[in-house]
Amino acid sequence: MAQVVRGTNLPGRGQIYRAHKPARRRFGLDKILLTLVLLYLTVPLGATLAFGLSIGSGFKFNTFMSAFTDPDFSQTLLISLGLAFATTLLTVLLVTPTAYWVQLRLPRARPLMEFLALVPFAVPAIVMAFGLVEVYGTGNTLVNVLSFGLVPLLSNEPFNVVNTPQLLVCAYVIVSLPFVYRPIDNNLRAINTKVLSEAAYSLGSGWWRTFLTIIFPNILPGVISAALLTFSTVMGEFTLASLFGIYTFPIYLNATGQSDAHKAASLTILSFFLTMIFVLGIILLVRIRPGRPGTEDRLDIVATK
């Protein structure tokens, strides 16, 4: 739109702009740096693909495929998929109703919610793993009192969570909070939650029915984007899994890389494609939804490094 104005309507302004126009059209410093950055981002991928395919001098597709026949490969991939499904489900079940509840009934708690969603930034995965091991591994009176007796219950036999996948899933839910709460909350704010809910209530709908049939379908893009990001993060998470001693796909990848760099390169390419599928899924599913302005708000990216 701005360009149309520049060229035609106003002669005086057109002249002023003409002085700056060549700079815009030229292949300037910004374009050069953009190209360099893109090169930096693509070269390792290309090199990894070539490295995974090549043994000695020739290219062999067999060695590339042999990486995927290892029984450990399918087993760890299945474990990671299971963890990712469980985490995604628990995250959506826990965060979505709470975000709706806070938006509708408890706006006062919003700062607290935002704070809780920000804490994982200040407490990185490695520190959280350390803290969780200490909370559930050692008896501590302060913790027992502060948790209302829940920690001793969870760290002893019938409900023992120490070093189990269950504890890992709970930790993953916390790790994903920053990029799960924000898109859901943004969507809730965008759809005028209060009016929709009051309309539903006045027509005789209960809280759960309103949530499930009115609110949830309306915030689906945010939920899907949050869910896919969670799934992708858990598929690649190494820190917590390795410190809890659970044999997931990234741990298998790390172990493979220590002995066979070529095999690791093939698996790396596979992980890249997995990440790509999830991210493209988010972009397509969120962008395709019609009639929703403001979907250009950025993807929240916080993979665990």
Q: Is 294 exposed, middle or buried (0-12, 13-18, 19+ CB in 10 A)?
A: exposed
Query: CA geometry: angle at 142 spanning 139 and 143, to 5°?
Result: 60
What character string, x for contact with another protein (CB under 8 A) and - otherwise, covers 226-265?
Answer: ---x--xx--xxxx--xx------x--xx--xx--x--xx
**Could you tell me which residues come within 8 angstroms of residue 46 by beta carbon, excluding any fewer than 6 positions away?**
none
**Could you tell me which residues come within 8 angstroms of residue 293 by beta carbon, excluding any fewer than 6 positions away?**
none
Is residue 61 classed as helix, strand or coil in its secondary structure? helix
What character string, x for contact with another protein (CB under 8 A) and - otherwise, covers 189-228?
Answer: ------x--x------------------------------
Q: State the nearest-atom distance from the C-beta of 171 to another protein, in Å.
A: 6
Q: State the nearest-atom distance from the C-beta of 40 to another protein, in Å.
A: 7
Q: Which is nearer to another protein, 94 or 191 (CB)?
A: 94
Binding of another protein at residue 160 (CB under 8 A)?
Answer: no
Contact set for another protein, span 96-155 (CB under 8 A): 98, 101-102, 105-106, 109, 116, 118-135, 140, 142-143, 146-147, 150-151, 154
Choosing from 18, 43, 152, 159, the residue that interacts with another protein (CB under 8 A) is 43
Contact set for another protein, span 71-100 (CB under 8 A): 94-95, 98
Query: CA geometry: angle at 288 spanning 283 and 294, to 5°?
Result: 80
Binding of another protein at residue 61 (CB under 8 A)?
Answer: no
Q: State the nearest-atom distance from the C-beta of 210 to another protein, in Å.
A: 13
**Which amino acid, one-letter code, is at 73?**
F
Query: CA geometry: angle at 153 spanning 151 and 154, to 5°?
Result: 65
Q: Bridge partners of 58?
A: 55
Of the candidate spans 64-72, 78-86, 172-180, 209-217, the one that interacts with another protein by CB under 8 A turns out to be: 172-180
Binding of another protein at residue 13 (CB under 8 A)?
Answer: yes
Contact 266, 64 (CB under 8 A): yes
What are 110's two structure tokens?
């919003």
Q: State the nearest-atom distance from the C-beta of 147 to another protein, in Å.
A: 6
What are 302's two structure tokens?
């916080």
Binding of another protein at residue 170 (CB under 8 A)?
Answer: yes
Q: Which residue has 């693509």 as its token pair?
A: 42
Binding of another protein at residue 268 (CB under 8 A)?
Answer: yes
Of the candidate spans 69-77, 79-87, 208-216, 297-305, the one that interacts with another protein by CB under 8 A turns out to be: 297-305
Is residue 299 classed as helix, strand or coil in its secondary structure? coil
Q: State the nearest-atom distance from the C-beta of 275 to another protein, in Å.
A: 5
Q: Is 188 exposed, middle or buried (0-12, 13-18, 19+ CB in 10 A)?
A: buried
Size of the site for another protein (CB under 8 A): 108
